[in-house]
A and B are shown apart, each in its own frame.
Chain A
Amino acid sequence: MSLFGSTSGFGTGGTSMFGSTTADNHNPMKDIEVTSPPDDSISCLAFSPPTLPGNFLIAGSWANDVRCWEVQDNGQTIPKAQQMHAGPVLDGCWSDDGSKVFTASCDKTAKMWDLNSNQAIQIAQHDAPVKTIHWIKAPNYSCVMTGSWDKTLKFWDTRSPAPMMTLQLPERCYCADVVHPMAAVATAERGLIVYQLENQPSEFRRIESPLKHQHRCVAIFKDKVNKPTGFALGSIEGRVAIHYINPPNPAKDNFTFKCHRSNGTNTSAPQDIYAVNGIAFHPVHGTLATVGSDGRFSFWDKDARTKLKTSEQLDQPISACCFNHNGNIFAYASSYDWSKGHEFYNPQKKNYIFLRNAAEELKPRNKK
């Protein structure tokens, strides 16, 4: 299996170069640093699909660029290419054959980047920044789904300038996830809609938000037979809701749990509550990872309802995360997510992307 090798050495490979003499906490977990990270905050990470041999990682950033690295089995990362947008890149995804990368940006467009020719063309247009982009591969059609702050969800055949379909959202799209044939979109004002994508995308159900505050990220999970069966929804208030679409017993099966909060074991001191910036499910084990503004990541087993691990605290919030296609690599980005406003924004601060071996740590707890 293409692992990062044994535990020896590679964790420190990147950090030692930067002369961490003082108590530099930018990589307390001693994970592998990706070389040439973007110059501004990273908004999204995505690994290549299994159809592509090897692992390629793309990251979109607020520096208007999207970069691509090859991640080798020994942990080395080689920058391969980059493309620019006219505005910060908010989301990116791969096509199912791994030949194209789709990127969504604040310049209200989405582009398709052909990696072989290193050309990018615009494929989508919205009236407001495009927040989410996903590739949909259905048996009878394929398209790109873009969600935007203009309160629409549009579906694009990359060959034509007009959308195949437009769906209205109740509010601005904040996050979305697609696992065929299901798509989940979370909007502003606690809106939550599930779509079914067979035949053609249509709204399946509007769901009452299980959370009390603003939605921040959503990720669909699958059941034992690999069908999407529910989603995890994270909010700005340090809480994740696990929601099944058709559970046998909603009251018991759906639940929320608190995460990314400062340890409030003493009741007197108020907790610090941080936003959950990203949720990702391990493709093999079905366990999930959450990353938050507190600069930590955590692994959870939602079936056993337990926490598997919490990381040390990084000195910056973790703004994005993802797993590679076989779940061996967990990538997370350490960069400022604006959770404390502009006062805490330091353009000089370096942003990082870390890679961690995820094969062992995310094994589910055995159910008692």
Chain B
Amino acid sequence: MAICQFFLQGRCRFGERCWNEHPRGGARYGPSASHYQGGGGGGWGTANQRYTNVIQPSTFKSTWGGSRDHGRGLFGSSDFGSSGGSSSSKNTDFSQNRFSALMNSQNTADGYKDEEERLLECVVKDMEMWESSGQWIFSSYSPMKEKPNVSGFSDFSPEELRLEYYNCRANNNIQNYMNSIQQLANQWKNRLLQLKTLNASTKAALLSELKNTITQPLPSFGFGGQQTSSFGLSSFPVNSSSTSASSFSFKTSSSLVSASSGSTPAFGSSPAGCNPPAFGVTSSPSVSRSVGFGSPAAPSAASFSFKTSETTSGLGTSGFSGFGNASAVNSSSTTSLTAFGSFNAAVAASPSHSSSTLFGQSASASGHNVTPVPSAVTNNAPSDKLYTPKSELTAEEIQQFEAKRFTLGKIPLRPPPLELI
């Protein structure tokens, strides 16, 4: 079959119905022509397929809002910008990518590469917009509808942060809060700059991430490499939907809830109030998370625990967002603890808190080291050295560096030792 030239340029009006071949399974990217007349905008006009390579006139640009189009601004009082469903995802990047798509297709005439370029273009534009717009920065992000979340951006809602602030204020600990926010903001900024100025390695990592729905372990971004929960997200829903589906009943199924609700889970023999190591093995702390799913989850727990078991220390378990991490850990504690609270918890908590068992020895270690870390802040300026000698770091900091992810509230303020990089 003939290859559809319009599809290669990213603007096939017939989409799946097109008589020509759309290489690389990209049939879903072409919008169907006839459907866009009237409705949200008559921009497509009535030209038939056989028109030659005439650049689509800007009339369509003025009626479609596009998605990432800087110039559009607020659409007027009578129009919605429309970015449709998945089949028009190609449209959305269309207006600003049109020319780059053409240029690329002239060079390579390869529809597949085009899509990558488009994605990267989209990411860059979005990063620029995000930076300049003043919108909420602690948000996940994905360049297109069906793509997974880009790593390096975790979701924190304003309410979660506000609650943290209120808790810290109640404990006279606002500095803690501000430091953590600063950390998060710096990480966001770094990641954003990385994505804005895509160099070869970021590009490769990003593209492989976006292609696969199951993300591979990402290259650490140097200091403070933080995996997003796309890492966890891809494994989690698979398990949670299957297990949760099997465990429905209208009877009290509280045993299926995270064990910290106080009732003994299905496995029995659990120390009260703690997340028991369901399989009797101490190593993978992620197992304790799976207790919440009940016994049918046994195989699946093992299957996703392998992803998170790369972390040796209890602190870094579960590549989920830092908030979710610590909050699951602290789930049975009575005080309202989140990741920030883990600082206080380690100090104030008695060993009977589940947090201590999950963290293992590290809790007791961190219990001792909580004060030295803040004092480390006051003592040294964040050092001029690029790396901190291992001997200078507290045990807790070392654990943080060794862990796969930082636990929020325990993010070290000094650079890692050379040995751990």
Contact = CB atoms under 8 A, between A and B. Distances in A.
A255 B83 CA distance: 6
B286 to A, nearest CB: 14
Interface in A225-259: 235-238, 249-259
B10 interface: no
Nearest to B228: A189
B159 A90 contact: yes
Interface stretch (A21-29, A206-214, A353-361): A206-214
Contact of B240 (A108, A168, A338): A168
B164 to A, nearest CB: 9
A90 B160 CA distance: 11
A315 interface: no
Contact of B250 (A128, A164, A255, A256): A164
Given A188-B155, A257-B81, A208 B146 contact: yes
A9 interface: no
Contact of B331 (A150, A256, A340): A150
A306 B248 contact: no
A150 B257 CA distance: 10
Interface stretch (A12-20, A261-269, A280-288): A261-269
B57 to A, nearest CB: 18
Given A128-B327, A151-B324, A258 B233 contact: no
B336 interface: yes
Contact of B155 (A189, A257, A262): A189
Interface in A148-203: 149-152, 154, 160, 162-172, 174, 188-191, 200, 202-203
B265 interface: no
Contacts of B160: 149, 172
A113 interface: no
A278 interface: no
A163 B257 contact: yes
A112 interface: no
A203 B244 contact: yes
Given A166-B257, A257-B81, A264 B73 contact: yes
A263 B85 contact: no
Interface in A339-367: 339-342, 345
Contact of A152 (B74, B162, B257): B257
B161 A338 contact: yes
Interface of A: 43, 62, 87-88, 90, 106-108, 125, 127-129, 131, 149-152, 154, 160, 162-172, 174, 188-191, 200, 202-203, 206, 208-210, 212-214, 216, 235-238, 249-259, 261-267, 270-275, 305-307, 337-342, 345
Given A150-B327, A259-B74, 7 more contacts: A128-B338, A162-B254, A250-B86, A263-B73, A275-B135, A307-B78, A339-B158
5 contacts: A129-B159, A214-B157, A249-B35, A255-B84, A275-B135
